[in-house]
Chain A
Amino acid sequence: MFEVKVIDFKNIAPVDLFKLLYKFAKPLKKWVKSNSGSDADAEDVLQDAMIVFYQLINRPAFELSAKPETLLFSIGKKIWYNQLRKNKQIPFDTLHEDWIITEEESEQFERESQFQLMEKSLVLLGKKCADLLEMFYFKKFSMLEIANKLDFRNEKVAKAMKYKCLEKARIIIHTKTQDL
């Protein structure tokens, strides 16, 4: 008997999703390398594509109509194309129709590069603050759990720290990003 395993991409944990996507990574990486990208470029493009993939499938209205490997590949291709375009490495006459991006996608890429800069500035946040915010917003830990894990006296202290850390992150992101 065969067992058919249906993967619910919307409810899969990020780590598991990324593990799955890594299995489809080879064609994309090969393609980037054959289009004047290095090994590091290929890995960067793959990771960026994974993040876009995650966000895309988590949109309420989104339904996965293509195979996940096809979607990942096409996202990655567009990301790499955009990068080449930004670095002016593509002569106009070599433009392939697959590589043409819409205005909406262009805006999306612009936002992406802004976010990448913001991410870089987050190193100034400090590990403890980053851990705290991650636990609260994404791992959905309660304040009591956070207090226990991060050695705060009680939930109140943890809550106050969460507020301080978020403020700190906001200030860093919106002031330091301009310096980078």
Chain B
Amino acid sequence: MMTDNELAEAYASKTLGAEEKQGVENRMQKDPPFAKLVNEYENTLEVLKRKWLRSNIQVAKKELWLRQLIKIGIITLAISSLLFIAGYQYLKSHKNKTKQTELLSSTKATVEMKVLLDTISKNDSLIGGVDLPIITPQKVQAFILNFKPSDIKPLTISFPLSLTAQDSFSAVPIENVFGAAYQVFNINPMVSNEIKCKNGTIINLPAHALVMSNGKEPQGNVNISVQEFSNYLEMYKHNIVTVSNGQLLETGGSCFIKAESNGDSVMLKKNQTYTIAFASKKDVRMKTFVGEKDSIGDVNWIEEKQTSLLDVATINTLSEQSAQIKDCDCNKKNYLFQTLVSDEGFYNSKTDEYTRNVLSKSNKVVELFDTFKSIVTPEIKTLYEIKSKLRLRFGVDSLGNLVRFDYNFRVNRKTEKALREAANYVVAKAHIELIDKGAKHVIINVDLMPTMTIQSKELAVIDTTAPIAVQNKAKQSNMNILVARSFGYINCDYFLNKANLLTKLVIKVPSDQTDVKVFFKSNKVVARCTVNGNLAVFTNAPENETILIVGTVMKNNKWTMALQEAKVGEVISLTDFKPFDLNKISAFLQLAP
């Protein structure tokens, strides 16, 4: 027996037999509410059909457009092939002509040789009516005997250089000239410190994070010295390039950090981390790179491992989270206790009371937990506008530190990805704050328990909006915040990945002592060319990239420099060397962002 709705739907979709159809029509006449219901179903199916037809129109339009595009492509290809073939034929014939001309105007000796061979074969002194010297076999012998390879002169290309071969050259000691200008911050290592540098870099150092070479924490204050390389001029002055084992990086800022106390060097404790925020446009691809100077004084950058906790884009799978749990040695046995809490309080009142009692022994733990709750709960709810239960599991170690949060997803598998991304974003954000407050080894997990309300709310809507919401949230912080595990050279980069073909950049220079640095105009990328003889070379440069070239060399003990804008792939010669002027270099480099 069909319900009224089923009957109305069957009538509207024209699936009823003749008799049933008549029955419905009769009832519609007597029963206005039923007639209205049938009418609603008819309208609904009609609207759905129109929607479907409109989508078909879009498909048709797209297919026609594609067909048109392919047509244009084929015509263009045909024309360019024709042009290519015509050009090739022309060049070929032109080349043959040139070859013929070259042959005709070749050295006298070659002509003599040809004539000689012909003469020998024909035993005749006249060829083609041209009066040529009489060639005898003795002459042939003499020619061969007198021929020296040095008679063949090499092809020479000359290009105008204002510097001549008589000049003496040596390298400009750029790094030594500008020296190491540090910003020095005097801090108390027993508390957490936020170090704000002149050009916007912010270093957040947790309390008790430092250790002396003897393994003990420094007793007094510590001097943190920082060099910021936030713009091209600073990078130029300090000889900073953005290259990792020959591959170009785009930088979001870099710096050099060292710490000392009473003349002794101070370092980070083992497994200790701190955060650096670089004042550059936020980009989720940015990762921490650490630098080491190579034999010629260039800094080579290597990606630092295990910095993904703060990088939302890289926390993708639960297995990654699990791997990190193992890494940080947070086994259950190390916990003083562990408990479950929900977003409305602790999991049950008994646990709540017990936990609060234990937690109250450490104000820090309560503070951390409250911070976490205040960040996580509202964000999860705002992001999805859903009523979800948030469960946290955490433990406290014997020192009273909050050591672990857990989360598990028990949601519809279609929404799991979207929820995971959102949760990871929130978790990452909470994590930053927790580390700033001095927590150690924090791994946070969120248990999202969807209610039936979510499922009936059409999960597809969540699928489409969640990534956007996550991205929007991530955009709110404009700095690139990274985790570092050591001092020294720290860089915020990602591997430059351009669509352009990679090619060899070659620049003609006056001497192998020339220092040639290349600054990209569209991305923050700096590379130094390897100079061999009169050629400065950098492999793997993106073709057609606009670059600013700064060449420096000492000519006759005077500093000279050449500044030139060019494109990778062009024939580039650095010729116009003028007296060195840092202001001019600064103005030139400001042409780039």
Contact = CB atoms under 8 A, between A and B. Distances in A.
Interface string A12-53: 001110110010000000000000000000000001001100
A58 to B, nearest CB: 10
A19 B461 contact: no
B56 A15 contact: yes
A62 interface: no
Nearest to A22: B64
A166 B44 contact: yes
A171 to B, nearest CB: 9
Q: How large is the interface on A (under 10, 10 to 19, 20 to 34, 35 or more residues)?
A: 20 to 34
A108 B590 CA distance: 66
Interface stretch (A2-10, A71-79, A95-103, A122-130): A122-130
B160 to A, nearest CB: 56
A15 B60 contact: yes
Contacts of B54: 47, 51, 119
Contacts, number: 87
B9 A166 contact: yes
Contacts of B64: 19, 22
Contact of A128 (B52, B55, B61, B460): B460
B53 A51 contact: yes
B41 interface: yes
Contacts of B51: 119, 122, 130, 134
A110 B9 CA distance: 24
Interface string B39-51: 0110111111111
Contacts of A138: 48-49, 52
Interface of B: 5, 9, 13, 40-41, 43-57, 59-61, 63-64, 414, 456, 458-461, 464
Contact of B460 (A51, A115, A127): A127
Contacts of A141: none
A47 B47 CA distance: 15
Contacts of A133: 48
B442 to A, nearest CB: 36
A100 B459 CA distance: 48
B461 A115 contact: no
Contacts of A151: 414
A119 B43 contact: no
Contacts of B47: 115, 118-119, 122, 169, 173
Contacts of A122: 47-48, 51
Given A15-B63, A127-B464, A174-B43, A169 B48 contact: yes
A50 B50 CA distance: 11
Nearest to B13: A137
A167 interface: yes
22 contacts: A14-B56, A15-B63, A18-B61, A19-B64, A47-B54, A115-B47, A118-B43, A119-B51, A122-B51, A126-B461, A129-B458, A134-B52, A137-B49, A138-B48, A138-B49, A138-B52, A164-B456, A167-B5, A170-B41, A173-B43, A173-B44, A174-B40
Q: Across chains A and B, which 10 residue pairs bring their CB atoms closest together, nearest first?
A: A18-B60, A126-B458, A128-B460, A14-B56, A118-B47, A19-B60, A170-B44, A126-B460, A127-B460, A138-B52
Nearest to B462: A126
B424 to A, nearest CB: 23
Contacts of A115: 43, 46-47, 50
Contact of B45 (A14, A126, A137): A137
A54 interface: yes
Judged by DSSP, the binding face of A is: helix
B589 to A, nearest CB: 46
Interface in A134-178: 134, 137-138, 151, 164, 166-170, 173-174
A18 B460 contact: no
A134 B45 CA distance: 10
Contact of B459 (A128, A167, A173): A128
A17 B56 CA distance: 10
Nearest to A122: B51
Contacts of B45: 137
A153 to B, nearest CB: 11
B57 A50 contact: yes
Contacts of B49: 137-138
Contacts of A129: 458, 460
A91 B46 CA distance: 34
A168 B51 CA distance: 16
A146 to B, nearest CB: 15
A57 to B, nearest CB: 13
A130 B13 CA distance: 16
A126 B48 CA distance: 13
A22 B63 CA distance: 11
B266 to A, nearest CB: 57
A14 B459 CA distance: 30
Contacts of A51: 50, 53-54, 57
A119 to B, nearest CB: 6
A151 B414 CA distance: 9
A128 to B, nearest CB: 4
A56 B5 CA distance: 29
A164 B55 CA distance: 23
Contacts of B414: 151
Given A130-B48, A174-B43, 15 more contacts: A18-B57, A19-B60, A47-B54, A50-B57, A51-B53, A115-B50, A122-B47, A127-B460, A128-B459, A134-B48, A137-B49, A138-B48, A166-B41, A169-B44, A169-B48
B37 to A, nearest CB: 9
A158 to B, nearest CB: 14
Contacts of B44: 166, 169-170, 173-174
Contacts of A18: 56-57, 59-61
Contacts of A174: 40, 43-44
A18 B52 CA distance: 13
Contacts of A128: 458-460
Nearest to B47: A118
A85 B43 CA distance: 26
A19 B63 contact: yes
A166 B40 CA distance: 11
B136 to A, nearest CB: 80
Contacts of B5: 167
